[in-house]
A = this chain, B = another copy of it.
Amino acid sequence: MLRVSKLADYAVVVLVKLAADNDCVDCGVQTSPSLAASTGVPEPTVAKVLKALSMSGLVLSQRGARGGYRLQRPLETISIAEVIAAIDGPIALTACVDGASSGCEVQRMCAVHGRWDLVNDAIRDALNRITLSEMRAAGIPAFLRTLTPAE
C-alpha cells in the first residue's frame, strides 16, 4: 500500500517531542525512557529509533550518566524525506533503481516497464518539501484532531 514503516512514524513523534523541550538546541537532553513515557511508545522501540536517528546525524547523543539525546538541527530544517531515509533507508519505490550493482532478475522486461526513477524523483521531491515543523500541527492539544477530513 505504499506505506512507511511504523518506526518512521515513531521517529516523527519522538523528534517533535524532542523539540518541545529543546527549542534552544542546548537547554538539556532527554533520555529515551523519558521520551518513551511522554510519547507512549515502548522504551526499546524508542531507543531503536533514536539510535538510527543519531546515526544519521539528526540527533546528538550523549553517553554516560546524565546522558540522553537532543536535536542537532531545528525542526524547520528537517524534512520528512530525511527522517524516512534515516529509518527506512534510501527512498526508492522499486529495487531496480538504487542497488544498481546486481540487476533485477527480470531485467529483460525491466527495460520495457521503464522509468520508475521518474516516480522516485517525484516522491523524493515531494517529501523533501515537507518539514517536521509542518507536521506538528500548531498547538491543538490532542484527541480533537483524530479525523479532520483530508481535503
Copies of this chain in the oligomer? 2
- Chain-B contact segment, one of A24-32, A49-57, A125-133: A125-133
Find chain B residues with CB under 8 A from A127 CB.
119, 122-123
Give the number of residues in A that approach B within 8 Å (Cβ atoms): 64
Q: A1-B89, A92-B1, A94-B3 are in contact. Are A119 and B111 (CB under 8 A)?
A: no
Looking at the complex, which one of B4, B111, B140, B150 makes contact with A143 (CB distance below 8 Å)? B111
Question: Per a CB cutoff under 8 Å, which of B2, B107, B146 touches A110?
Answer: B146
- A56-111 at interface with B (beta carbon < 8 Å): 80, 84, 88-95, 97, 100, 103, 106-111
Whether B2 and A80, one on each chain, are in contact in the complex, defined by CB atoms closer than 8 angstroms, is no
